[in-house]
Chain A
């Protein structure tokens, strides 16, 4: 069934989009990530203009995080105080990101900018995650001592300390603000929730206990992606509600199935698989930048600045 998207102004197969949302939802349910980092590149691939893909991707992440945070809330695994601090940073980062996005669009380098961000962040996080999860896996095989979860680092020496009861932390508000801002920025330019940056940063940088990490990250991602969606809708008019609707419907169904599969796999195995997936996406985008394109020219409607 063909469906004409009012904002993207392309005609797409509705079942293809539903399926796409379903597959990404399945993976996100299995790994506990928003899935924005997969949705946005896949939308580029089927011919949705990059600006629309990024803005609509953010909208889709809102739905998957709402669904995820409700599950975490029932387990009381959300640190609202930490979430609010991250959020304050997130809004600032997102506002800057939308502005940079507009500026890059004017320069005609938005595609490159988005692609480079994907290669850089996905490559970095994927490599780190792979290294860490492989080490954990070997350790589990050998049955060696488990590393302490709470390690004191330079982060704990910064001023403006604040108590985060749910996380059992007494640390400066500066690192959470910075992490939040980075994630907000990424949400705006990549159309992702930033869970793949947020989760490792919370564990390794802030030293938060793993049980509250996912819920707290999802909690703040809802608001950051909601803010990003709104900013894109108002400044660039690039949110396609029909496209988002199809992705969400496919996504929420896939996520529920994915969660069921996820509980049957071991945590280390899941992390290795996720790391490989993230790396694969990063390598694919990097190759596109390195290989000579078959058509050197591109046509964009609109004026030069």
Chain B
């Protein structure tokens, strides 16, 4: 059977094909008590079996956090005060998304390829079953993008991937402090003339560790014990402070 696989590989890879060999600086990120954001270094090389064909070679790196459903609300003035009125629901919006490239996305990636691989932000946020309470869901999706770009949950880093010596490249992607736990998918695309030549997939696991893990699990799995623990902590602190200061004063 092995010879069949080898033959299939040879057939699948046309002459002059280029592919990516890539690595990550780390494949797990731990959220500990002093966690203040992290950085992932994505590096790689372009492997060629023949001289490079015409057209510039481009690299796109995306990092995508676990998708969660979100509700986008719009404030409106009612009776003089600003309150939430309309809402749109999005089934799956990534909690984090960064796209880093060697050049402007518009010129290095065609629309059809974008549609196929879901690379740019509008393609990533899928609006399924929206428009529940609002007139124009597109406006809300735009607002979601704008808000998350502002608090750096979404980042578009055009030109942030650097080529070193024609075939080696690297990209540094900063993860913010307000990360959601889960699997972060790292994708690498090699494009030429807007077409994707090769793609690679990697996964980075983001998890709370140590004290953070313990407290979070306790709060979710044993809410009664957690609640009582919070109260005992408060009572002991209150009692301790009053006793301590009385001793200090006398």
Partner of A296, one of B69, B74, B227: B74
Is residue B84 contacting chain A, with contact meaning CB distance below 8 A? yes
- Cβ A66 vs Cβ B239 within 8 A: yes
- Cβ B223 vs Cβ A234 within 8 A: yes
Is residue A230 contacting chain B, with contact meaning CB distance below 8 A? yes
Residues of B within 8 A of A298 (CB): 72-73, 75, 84, 147
Segment of A133-141, A156-164, A250-258 engaged in the interface with chain B: A250-258
Tell me the smallest distance from the CB of A39 to a CB of chain B, in Å. 13
Is residue A124 contacting chain B, with contact meaning CB distance below 8 A? no
Is residue B59 contacting chain A, with contact meaning CB distance below 8 A? no
Q: Which of B33, B76, B140 has the most CB of A within 10 A?
A: B33
Is residue B71 contacting chain A, with contact meaning CB distance below 8 A? yes
CA distance A237 to B68 in the complex (A): 18
- Cβ B227 vs Cβ A239 within 8 A: yes
Tell me the smallest distance from the CB of A239 to a CB of chain B, in Å. 5
Is residue A143 contacting chain B, with contact meaning CB distance below 8 A? no
Residues of B within 8 A of A244 (CB): 230, 233-234
Residues of B within 8 A of A226 (CB): 231, 234
Residues of B within 8 A of A237 (CB): 219-220, 223
Is residue B216 contacting chain A, with contact meaning CB distance below 8 A? yes
> Residues 77-114 of chain B: 1 if any A CB is under 8 Å from the residue's CB, otherwise 0?
10011111001010000010000000000000000000
- Cβ A6 vs Cβ B215 within 8 A: yes
Is residue A2 contacting chain B, with contact meaning CB distance below 8 A? yes
Residues of A within 8 A of B219 (CB): 6-7, 233, 237, 239, 241
Residues of A within 8 A of B48 (CB): none
With A3-B34, A71-B242, A293-B75 known as contacts, the answer to whether A299 contacts B235 (CB < 8 A) is: no
CA distance A7 to B178 in the complex (A): 11
- In residues 234-250 of chain A, which contact B (Cβ within 8 Å)? 234, 237, 239, 241-242, 244-245, 248-249
Q: Which of A63, A234, A248, A256 has the most CB of B within 10 A?
A: A63
Is residue B143 contacting chain A, with contact meaning CB distance below 8 A? yes
- Cβ A4 vs Cβ B212 within 8 A: yes
- Cβ A300 vs Cβ B70 within 8 A: yes
- In residues 118-155 of chain B, which contact A (Cβ within 8 Å)? 132-133, 140, 143-144, 146-148
What are 30 A-B contacts defined by CB distance under 8 Å?
A2-B36, A4-B31, A4-B32, A4-B35, A6-B211, A6-B216, A9-B178, A9-B180, A11-B178, A62-B234, A62-B235, A66-B235, A67-B238, A108-B84, A229-B234, A230-B224, A230-B227, A233-B219, A233-B224, A237-B219, A239-B226, A241-B226, A248-B238, A290-B82, A296-B76, A297-B143, A298-B75, A301-B70, A302-B70, A304-B132
| Other contacts beyond A241-B229, A248-B234, A301-B70: 20, CB < 8 A | A4-B35, A4-B212, A6-B208, A62-B235, A66-B242, A70-B242, A229-B230, A233-B230, A241-B215, A241-B219, A242-B211, A252-B238, A297-B72, A297-B74, A299-B73, A300-B73, A301-B95, A302-B69, A303-B71, A303-B89
